[in-house]
Structure 1
């Protein structure tokens, strides 16, 4: 096409688009479309000059096109997901008001500080170009291993688990943060899956995949091992171009994983499961539809952390419990649906892995609270008391919101 006229047309269009990140994608999109129009007019017998002119006329007034492009390609915010986050974070204060035996005001002040830090983490991961993380997967994986070994060697052991790092009066959950780093690392790996061809590279990926699974069992932290396992498998299925092969490979690893985790639980039940016998079904049978009130006589250990769900049901009733389950379901479903609204593979994998990151603990905690599955250290996302948990979950949510925010301004990397 005649470059001067064409560039002038594009400049007028781009001047109406506020998002600078979308400029290159829009230029590429319009260039391809106008070249196709020009070729079609040339095939009808027009000269190159006339065909180019006709193509620009066909596209329409550049100012109008620019305004339409600005509407289509602009950052977007998922306010529903943010509202659900605020609602769930607000519910986290309820158990602190009625369940803890020590002065609840101290717990609530601490939780308020962590919520504030969680909001900062969410915002921090929301307003930068997440695609810059894709090529840093080796660093994220390496930092995850380093953080794990630091915790394992010099960490503080609490309740039989050596998973805490304490410095300057602040205690953080090392393995949990490493879990977040591993998720980003694998999203970067699977976004470049075509670069890992050949049995040697595939063998290396298999080794990298199973290593954290074994490491988390050393802590011991069975839940993190399961979360990591399912999150990575979910990302793998949706990253591999050959879906049938990916599904077969994932099912194979899934069966091995189920057998392996079952064997570990049966062989070392005291290491991975709680030996506390709590009549949860009896407690829930006294809840009724509307509960016994927040300030009740229920004495339930860890009612503000791992057993927060049965406490809330006992206090506010099954009606509240059902609504809470629906809120968590809507939260996870929203993330899952948003994953397929972006055409950037790296962003889609982050959202898919993030959905699994929330699904596993949410389902296990609720089923555990209902007395269906064994009791172990499983926090309910955003609701159980715990600073590191809240900040990591919020950082991951910020990254997922980041993907949604840029879904209309990033160039597609998924080949349909």
Structure 2
């Protein structure tokens, strides 16, 4: 039996037919930038880069697998995945594993973190629900949508894990908004939130006193907010992360110090430099111009994802693609905000750049969903 190169090449091409090449390219470029930055951030622990390459291979394989599934198949997983995720979160609350003061894991033969499942399961469930109500969506359906978002968010916040709760809430609320929730409802909530933040800033000196207790928040969460307001109050403790990250970003200047030449990172001043604070390493070495290039890359991913969402062939596809696309925005905005000192430190990684497999796989699944919806449209058109 002879090897026919042309036949095998044709088979390989068919495996990738219909995929949105622009979106896949932007994601690939971002991953490459991440590996480049991680190499510099982990030059003292080179095994991390090898581990991350393995995570990237697994992520891209999973992304391709999800992208190969039609949206109708994804719909079938919506209810079971959401119910299983909520059940696991309840299990975490009852008999989960506690590590570093937080109960976020559960042993089901293997140790898993159910909150990660909900980053995908929540928008998937909401898109499925609104697809059922297509053409007859009323205000009550938005209330149901908010309840579907609120259940996992409250369970995750109790662990406590405000970073993941924020990501799950954002993914779900974007779907509810895209489904038609009136801006007249959103605007008052935004105004109330803005006024509340303003009141906090005005009363900063009083509310940050040790004897003042904050309802619904743990002490460490209170310290994070107070450190955000004035990190110099504890420069060697709670404020150390923020102060050193801001110094690293500022020291990069317009064009940066050059790859592998960041002093803040290599002299170990930046904590968690390979995970949550990798943006500080990148900014120090590539400067303001590099930061702009990175923002443009995220912008292109989000823009292309929203274009795919707008062109979806079903309401389910449009809502799901829109919701998971905005997950990239939430990750990037929160991470860059906390590293730059404009948001509290909540432990959110920089998408496709921070070291670690869990968040990378989650975002890979999100990217696969977007590619699946884009592929469905192209197959329908042809």
Deviation at 1:371, TM superposition (A): 1.9
Distance in 1 (CA, whole Å) between partners of 2:197 and 2:117 is 22
Partner of 1:86: 28
Spell out the pairing of 1:91-130 with structure 2 (5 A cutoff): 91-100=33-42, 103-130=44-71
Q: Which residue of 1 aligns with 2:292?
A: 322
Work out the CA distance in 2 between the residues paired with 1:107 and 1:138: 36
Give the conservation status (yes or no) of the 8 Å contact 1:220–1:271.
no
Structure 1 runs of 4+ with >6 Å offset: 195-202, 255-266
Q: Which has the higher contact order (CA 8 A, sep 6+)?
A: 2
Q: Unpaired runs of 5+ in structure 1?
A: 1-73, 412-416
1:189 to 2:129 alignment:
yes
Q: Which deviations, in whole Å up to 9, do the C-alpha atoms of 1:110-158 show, x marking residues without a partner?
A: 1111111101110110111122333553322201202323444454444
SS class of match (2:263) = coil
- The answer on whether the counterparts of 1:187 and 1:349 sit within 8 Å (CA) in structure 2 is yes
Q: Is 119-128 or 92-101 further displaced after alignment?
A: 92-101
Instruction: Say whether residues 1:132 and 2:132 are aligned partners.
Output: no
In the alignment, the residues of structure 2 paired with residue 201 and residue 364 of structure 1 have an alpha-carbon distance, to the nearest angstrom, of: 29
- In structure 2, stretches of 5+ residues that fail to align are 1-15, 201-213, 225-237
The aligned residue for residue 85 of structure 2 is 144
**Matched-pair contact (CA < 8 Å) for 1:196–1:202:** no
- For residues 281 and 368 of structure 2, the distance between their equivalents in structure 1, rounded to whole angstroms, comes to 29
2: CA distance between counterparts of 1:212 and 1:228? 8
CA distance in 1 between partners of 2:67 and 2:131 (Å): 20
Query: Which range moves more in the overlay, 364-373 or 383-392?
Result: 364-373
When residues 257 and 211 of structure 1 are mapped into structure 2, their CA distance, relative to the original with a 3 A threshold, is farther
Q: Which moved more, 1:264-273 or 1:292-301?
A: 264-273
CA-to-aligned-CA distance 1:173-196 (integer Å, 9 cap, x gap)? 321122211221111011122598
CA distance in 2: counterparts of 1:252 and 1:115, whole angstroms: 42
Within 1, Cα distance between the matches of 2:91 and 2:147? 21
Distance 1:141 1:116 in 2: 27
Q: Against the structure 1 CA distance between its residues 395 and 258, is the aligned structure 2 distance closer, same or farther, given a 3 Å change threshold?
A: farther
Contact 2:41 2:278 in 1 (8 A): no
Contact 1:131 1:347 in 2 (8 A): no
Instruction: Give aligned pairs, total.
Output: 332
Deviation at 1:317, TM superposition (A): 2.1
Largest Rg, 1 or 2: 1
SS at match of 1:162: strand
Q: Distance in 1 between matches of 2:169 and 2:84?
A: 18
SS at match of 1:177: helix
- 1:282 and 1:211, CA in 2 relative to 1: closer, same or farther beyond 3 A? same
Give the deviation of 1:202 after TM superposition: 6.5
Aligned to 1:271: 221
Distance in 2 of aligned mates of 1:301 and 1:360:
22
Answer whether contact 1:191 1:346 (CA < 8 A) is retained.
yes
Contact 2:34 2:353 survives alignment (8 Å): yes
